[in-house]
A = this chain, B = another copy of it.
Amino acid sequence: MSGDVILLAHGSGGKLGQDLVENLFLRHFDNPTLLKLDDSAVLPIPSPQCPAASTRLALTTDSYVVSPLFFPGGDIGKLAVCGTVNDLSMSGAMPLWLSAGFILEEGLLLAELERIVVSMAATAERAGVQIVTGDTKVVDRGSADRLFINTTGVGLVPPGIEIAGDRALPGDAVILSGTIGDHGMTIMTQREGLQFDSPLESDCAPLNGMVGGLLEAVPPGSIRCLRDPTRGGLATALNELAGRSGSGIQIDETAIPIRDEVRGACELLGLDPLYVANEGKLVAIVTPEAAEAALTSLHAHEFGQGAALIGRVTEAHAGRVVLRTALGARRVVDTLAGEQLPRIC
């Protein structure tokens, strides 16, 4: 383990976080489902008396500690529903039910809590999921920062769907559903009090509808992997996929969609947009034959209008992600090493 105390970087989605997962959680909570480290655990429910009725459950959890609680494009409640719906969707599951656990700091305004609850309810309705069970704890003033939310989601994985981080094969297309960095730079500029001519807005959105359309638009088995590039950004998500599958990934810098204002904010603050969090985007690794149909399907959805083919899975540089820059140079894009931005989600 690195050091002997928890650092902010342990929560960044980068290397220290992976260290914590591998050397602490996986070591003690040792089971094959957890070991897969996909966005959701996929759990078989066998039906011995009727094998055709066997189902697979997807289960995923996330705690949300974003600061500020409200930001352009969303709030902690919308984020808590979208993030968990999206993690289920990345396993190909149809999200059905959420739990919601609130940790409230004494003194939180009830009006703020209500605004967040209303936002969660609206987002859940939009995503077609139900919040079916919950819990509320209150801690004394100073023992939490206003409000934390855990949402845990349950979905069903339809028969025939096999999507997992280790399924990428050389030649597969790497598709990104839209611009990167919108969520992270919105939070960052809010926190820093920066003003821009065209204000940034979080991309926070439930992606289950778009994923459902994508799965219908291509032959069964064509979608090999799905990831939402949240904490640690696109670079970290691609590194996870390369690592899990044992293949390389090559991406083209010029193909990666990014808004001018996000690029500008990144330059101003010295951040690499490849590492900035997204909350309404996905990476799909797709068989070469299905790439065009996948893009067409994404383009038809409001959250996928900016979808682009950004690269390929390769045999070369197995386990690593290589970026071809605008100038034609190649550089390795590693997993996020330190802490880029705490409390982004």
Contacts and interface: CB of A to CB of B under 8 A. Distances in A.
Contacts of A130: 29, 31, 33-34
A99 B152 contact: yes
Contacts of A62: 101, 135
Given A47-B47, A143-B144, A152-B99, A29 B131 contact: yes
A41 B132 contact: yes
A78 to B, nearest CB: 13
Interface in A120-150: 120-121, 124, 130-140, 142-145, 148, 150
Nearest to A54: B53
Contacts of A25: 100, 117, 134, 136
Nearest to A130: B31
Contacts of A106: 5-8
A172 to B, nearest CB: 26
Contacts of A17: 136
Given A50-B47, A152-B152, A132 B7 contact: no
A152 B99 CA distance: 8
Contacts of A118: 28
A3 interface: yes
A4 B47 CA distance: 50
A57 interface: yes
24 contacts: A1-B110, A5-B106, A5-B107, A11-B136, A11-B139, A24-B114, A29-B124, A29-B131, A31-B130, A34-B133, A41-B133, A43-B96, A53-B53, A53-B54, A55-B55, A57-B57, A59-B133, A61-B99, A101-B150, A143-B144, A143-B145, A144-B145, A144-B148, A148-B148
What 6 pairs across the A-B complex have the smallest Cβ distances?
A11-B138, A53-B53, A152-B152, A61-B99, A50-B50, A150-B150
